[in-house]
């Protein structure tokens, strides 16, 4: 008599990560999980959240926890958006479509990477929520112009321009896993790396049924869609400069978001170039290793922006409490990438939905334990900031307004003496 084995209980994002590792071949899992060089920044992105501690208000009854916010004028049910993750079809069949559908069902936004394995029109049609298009200038200005026009026509509501990819970062796990050889090597070059793919027959069957090795249908070169093997070279040939914002701004009839801001200097440049929002991002630790965690860079960018544009942040978010800490520091909202990518790799759309629900549930619990009625009311009075973060007095923030606009008052700021009134 056969026994039915119950699926493992998925309690947190780490559980989804383990399921993703179990289902994917090593090369695909490490593409999600890995970072550049020694992966210092990759680790620091998550560790930074542990260095902020909460200051709860006890003996406070909160009947509800309101998570709603507004980003670029669009109401969202959650203060976190799904970040662009390229090549999501590598993790699960029709991966970008599945993730976008789950985001829309949860009442939040999905951001589609240029380097998607699904047509942008299909992804936009899959979600009932807002969708943004993240653009790389791969293929040159004419190719990018055509892609931007398609995104506008399809109904994407914001354009995200990533500025931290002058070249692709050195992701050493990909080198060791033979990604280049498996994609474009000779038969003899491929052979040492084939066993890791054959060891995941369920993944391989789905991958082949979905068309096998993908191309990038949103980057249409004269000879057809760009092939998967061309990514590294294409990024090196498509460096974004501030002057590119001029012609992109003329093309795009909507808000432009600059992603990849690390410093106050770049924040001011982005505002001068016409950005309506910034994302403090180090590409999840996948580009320049050794830059600070995004949470630590966030206060400098907020101070430089001084309320002129909206500021979002990504990197290292694995808990609802992490979302709360970023909002306490002053971010309008956050982007989550690996957290939902693990879910996608584990179980497709259902896995993404579970990742979103985990973060939502943890965030509600955090608010109630803080004695705070809404994410809009979070401010720095709810956290202790490490003294060595070097935040000046101009970086103080008080409670968020109910519409998500810049705060107007200041309160006690934990343990940082420069931030005390």
**pLDDT tens, per residue, the chain with 421 residues:** 444 444 568 999 999 999 999 999 999 999 999 999 999 999 999 999 999 999 999 888 877 889 999 999 999 999 999 999 999 999 999 999 999 999 999 999 999 999 999 999 999 999 999 999 999 888 888 999 999 999 999 999 999 999 988 778 888 888 888 887 787 777 787 788 888 989 999 999 999 999 887 789 999 998 888 887 656 666 666 788 898 989 999 999 999 999 999 999 999 999 999 999 999 999 998 989 999 999 999 999 999 999 999 999 999 999 999 999 999 999 999 999 999 999 999 999 999 999 999 999 999 999 999 999 999 999 999 999 988 775 543 344 444 444 444 343 333 334 433 333 2
Q: What is the pLDDT of residue 204?
A: 92
For 118, counting Cβ atoms within 10 Å of its Cβ (0-12 exposed, 13-18 middle, 19+ buried), the class is: buried
Backbone angles phi, psi at 355, to 5 degrees: -60, -45
The DSSP call for residue 387 is: G
From CA 148, how far away is CA 215, in angstroms rounded? 18
Q: What is the pLDDT of residue 237?
A: 67
CB of 364 closer than 8 Å to CB of 67: yes
Q: Which residues contact 72 (CB under 8 A, 6 or more apart)?
A: 157, 158, 255, 257, 276, 277, 310
From CA 193, how far away is CA 182, in angstroms rounded? 7
The tokens of 294 are what?
């995004």
Place of tokens 């993790």: 91
CATH topology of domain 13-171+232-382: TIM Barrel (3.20.20)
The tokens of 114 are what?
């240029």
This prediction's pTM = 0.89
Helices (H) and strands (E) in the chain, counts: 17, 14
Q: What is the pLDDT of residue 228?
A: 78
From CA 147, how far away is CA 216, in angstroms rounded? 11
CB of 308 closer than 8 Å to CB of 302: no
| E strand or H helix that includes residue 392 | none
Q: What is the pLDDT of residue 390?
A: 59
Q: What is the pLDDT of residue 74?
A: 96
From CA 87, how far away is CA 177, in angstroms rounded? 17
Q: At what angle are helices 294-305 and 264-272 packed, to 10 degrees?
A: 50
For 299, counting Cβ atoms within 10 Å of its Cβ (0-12 exposed, 13-18 middle, 19+ buried), the class is: buried
Active site residues: 283
Q: What is the pLDDT of residue 184?
A: 72
Q: What is the pLDDT of residue 231?
A: 65
Q: What is the pLDDT of residue 350?
A: 96
Q: 67-70 long-range CB contacts below 8 Å, 24 or more apart?
A: 67/360, 67/363, 67/364, 67/367, 67/374, 67/375, 68/374, 68/375, 68/376, 69/332, 69/333, 69/375, 69/376, 69/404, 70/403, 70/404
Strand partners, 112: 133
Q: What is the pLDDT of residue 418?
A: 35
For 18, counting Cβ atoms within 10 Å of its Cβ (0-12 exposed, 13-18 middle, 19+ buried), the class is: middle
Alpha-helical (H) ranges within 52-200 are 95-106, 120-126, 141-154, 172-176, 179-184, 187-190, 194-198
User: What residue spans define the domains of the chain?
Assistant: 13-171+232-382
The tokens of 263 are what?
């410093």
Q: What is the pLDDT of residue 391?
A: 55
Place of tokens 């989804």: 16
Q: What is the pLDDT of residue 234?
A: 67
The alpha carbon of residue 357 and the mean position of all alpha carbons in its chain are separated, in whole angstroms, by 17
Place of tokens 């203060």: 79
Residue 31: C-alpha distances to residues 85, 165, 315, 337 (Å): 10, 16, 16, 12
Q: What is the pLDDT of residue 396?
A: 40
């Amino acid at each position: 008599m056969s026994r039915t084995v119950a699926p493992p209980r998925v309690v947190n994002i780490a559980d989804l990560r383990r399921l993703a590792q179990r289902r994917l071949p090593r090369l695909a899992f490490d593409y999600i999980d890995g970072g550049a060089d020694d992966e210092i920044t990759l680790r620091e992105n998550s560790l930074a959240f542990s260095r902020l501690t909460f200051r709860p208000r006890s003996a406070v009854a909160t009947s509800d926890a309101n998570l709603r916010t507004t980003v670029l004028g669009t109401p969202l049910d959650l203060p976190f958006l799904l970040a662009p993750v390229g090549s999501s079809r590598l993790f699960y069949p029709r991966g970008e479509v599945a993730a976008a559908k789950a985001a829309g069902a949860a009442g939040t936004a999905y951001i589609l990477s240029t380097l998607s394995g699904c047509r942008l029109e299909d992804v936009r049609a899959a979600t009932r929520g807002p969708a943004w298009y993240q653009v790389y200038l791969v293929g040159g200005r004419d190719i990018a112009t055509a892609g931007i026009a398609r995104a506008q026509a399809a109904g994407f509501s914001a354009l995200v321009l990533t500025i931290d990819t002058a070249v692709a970062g050195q992701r050493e796990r990909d080198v060791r896993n033979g990604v280049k050889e498996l994609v474009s090597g000779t038969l003899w070059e491929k052979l040492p790396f084939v066993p890791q793919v054959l060891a995941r027959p369920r993944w391989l069957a789905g991958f082949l049924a979905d068309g096998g090795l993908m191309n990038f249908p949103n980057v249409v070169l004269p000879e057809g869609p760009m092939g998967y093997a061309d990514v590294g070279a294409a990024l090196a040939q498509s460096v974004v400069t501030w002057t590119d914002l001029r012609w992109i701004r003329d093309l795009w009839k909507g808000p432009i978001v600059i992603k990849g801001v690390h410093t106050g200097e770049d924040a001011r440049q982005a505002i001068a170039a016409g950005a309506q929002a910034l994302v403090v991002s180090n590409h999840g630790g996948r580009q320049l290793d050794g830059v600070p965690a995004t949470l630590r860079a966030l206060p400098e960018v907020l101070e430089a922006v001084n309320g002129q544009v909206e500021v979002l942040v990504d990197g290292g978010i694995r808990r609802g409490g992490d979302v709360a800490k970023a909002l306490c520091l002053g971010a309008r909202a956050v982007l989550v990438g690996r957290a939902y990518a693990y879910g996608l790799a584990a179980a497709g759309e259902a896995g993404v939905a579970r990742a979103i629900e985990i973060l939502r549930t943890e965030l509600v619990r955090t608010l109630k334990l803080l004695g705070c009625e809404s994410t809009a009311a979070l401010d720095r009075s709810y956290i202790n900031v490490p003294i060595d973060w070097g935040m000046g007095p101009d970086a103080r923030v008080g409670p968020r307004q109910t519409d998500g606009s810049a705060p107007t008052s200041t309160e006690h700021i934990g343990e940082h003496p420069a931030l005390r009134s």
